[in-house]
Amino acid sequence: MKVSVILGHPNKESFNYAIAETVIGKLKASGHEVFFHDLYEEGFDAIMSGYELVNSVSKDMLVEHHCKEIIEAEGIIIIHPNWWGQPPAILKGWVDRVLRKGVAYDEEKDEKGAGVPIGLLKTKVVMVFNTSNTPEQRELEMFKDPLETIWKNCIFDFCGVKNFHRKMFRVIEVSTLEERKEWLREVEMMINEHFC
Ligand SMILES: Cc1cc2nc3c(=O)[nH]c(=O)nc-3n(C[C@H](O)[C@H](O)[C@H](O)COP(=O)(O)O)c2cc1C
């Protein structure tokens, strides 16, 4: 299976990076073909140009490369920290520029001329791993878990993906080494369950 792994974290010492390494190791050991993108490492430009917006094609060859891969991907795994209830800007830019019209979705007009989305992604499964410093109850009561809404509803459901799984690891800043090791075992178990 061709699996795209997208990491949005600027620090290779981070727990997010450890999640990415665990995901890639497990996927490769199971015989999958992995397309790994550390967005900060590769200098992904988050800013969509006016040309791109109007033409649904980019002059940035890295963006075109990402688009080609995401069309081919049979699995997509996204890894990032919770930053203000959102993905880091670099990853938001990846969504804007790569999951564009004609790549991830299209639109039909209804009888009133309003746009009706049609999901185009062929991936069999999407998995999102997040980290945060907010306890679960506070996250749900105060913030309503915006990352679930963003990734599940606004993005992947819109793009036609029903087989969606997400896991938030928390609270990172007070976690012990043992907890982190256990969390990485959970990551492996999730990969086993959905990709093996
Ligand atoms: C710009 C920024 C915004 C953040 N916003 C939030 C937030 O809204 N909620 C939260 O729980 N943690 C927030 N955090 C904390 C990060 O989620 C936390 O540092 C990260 O998940 C830890 O994982 P890491 O060790 O892999 O970086 C924020 C951190 C930064 C740098």
Residue 196 has a pLDDT of 80
Q: Which protein residues are within 6 Å of ligand 1, measured from CB?
A: 9, 14-16, 81-85, 131-134, 172
> What's the CATH code of the domain at 125?
3.40.50.360
Structural domain tally of the chain? 1
Reported in sequence order, the residue ranges of 51-158 that DSSP labels E, i.e. its strands, are: 75-81, 105-109, 115-119, 125-131
Task: Report the b/e string of 141-173 with b at 16+ CB within 10 A.
Answer: eeeebebbebbbeebbebbbbeebebebbbebe
Global pTM value = 0.97
From first to last of its 196 residues, the chain has per-residue pLDDT tens of: 999 999 999 999 999 999 999 999 999 999 999 999 999 999 999 999 999 999 999 999 999 999 999 999 999 999 999 999 999 999 999 999 999 999 999 999 999 999 899 999 999 999 999 999 999 999 999 999 999 999 999 999 999 999 999 999 999 999 999 999 999 999 999 999 999 8
Distance CA 45, CA 91 (A): 10
- Domain range holding 58? 2-195
Q: Residue holding tokens 């036609």?
A: 160
Q: What token pair was written down for 86?
A: 């959102």
Distance 131 CA to ligand 1 centre (A): 7
Residue with CA at minimum distance from ligand 1 atom 31 = 83
Residue 138 CB-half CA count within 13 A? 7
